[in-house]
Amino acid sequence: MVAVSESITVGRPPAAVFAYLDQPEHHAVVTPSLAESKPVETLDNGGKRVRYVYRMAGISREGQLTETVHEAGRRMCFELSGGITGEIDITLEPVEEGTEVTYSATYDLPGRVVAAVTKPLVRRFNRRQLQETLRNLKTELEADPATA
């Protein structure tokens, strides 16, 4: 298992950041290597089940994200299944400058030997991807106040 977590301050209120992230298509805009993110259904908790396609080094992985926690303006958690398994937890906290967005992810690695050898590389790769995702989110939301 690999766990990574990063935070960034976005100059928009939590409701605007949540509204942007609540549209699955936007995740593909801000997340490197996420080629597609399309809603499949709306869940009873207000969250969504989403089909994703993730591309890395010429290899595509497909699967689903199920939003297990959907707290408007505050938090969204996803369970990943399919080509990539794990969990994503996004929390939003109001701060003077706007919203502190914390994105935490835990990914399962297949096999003990493979996991032991690749874990440091996977952690480094995921940390860079996560940092870029948050920078992209900040850029998208701060560039155009009409966004979200």
Encoded tokens for 57: 């080094």
At 147, give phi and psi (nearest 5°). -65, 140
Encoded tokens for 58: 């010429």
β-pairing, 2-10 vs 34-42, is unpaired
- Contact status, residue 48 vs residue 39, Cβ threshold 8 Å: yes
For residue range 14-69, list pLDDT tens digits in order. Answer: 999 999 999 999 999 999 888 999 999 999 999 999 999 988 777 788 899 999 99
- Three-state SS at 128: helix
Dihedral class, residue 86 (left if φ above 0, else alpha if ψ from -120 to 50, else beta): left
Residue type at 83 in one-letter notation:
G
Strand partners, 78: 67, 88
Residue 91 CB: number of other CB atoms within 10 A?
19
- What radius of gyration do the chain's Cα atoms show? 15
Encoded tokens for 72: 């408007």
Token pair 């960034």: residue: 8
> In the structure, what pLDDT confidence band is assigned to residue 109 with cuts at 50, 70 and 90?
low
Encoded tokens for 82: 């399919």
Strand partners, 42: 48
β-pairing, 48-56 vs 34-42, is antiparallel
Q: Is the pTM of this model over 0.75?
A: yes
Q: Which residue has the higher pLDDT, 33 or 117?
A: 33
Note the CATH number of domain 2-143. Answer: 3.30.530.20
Average pLDDT over the chain, rounded to an integer: 87
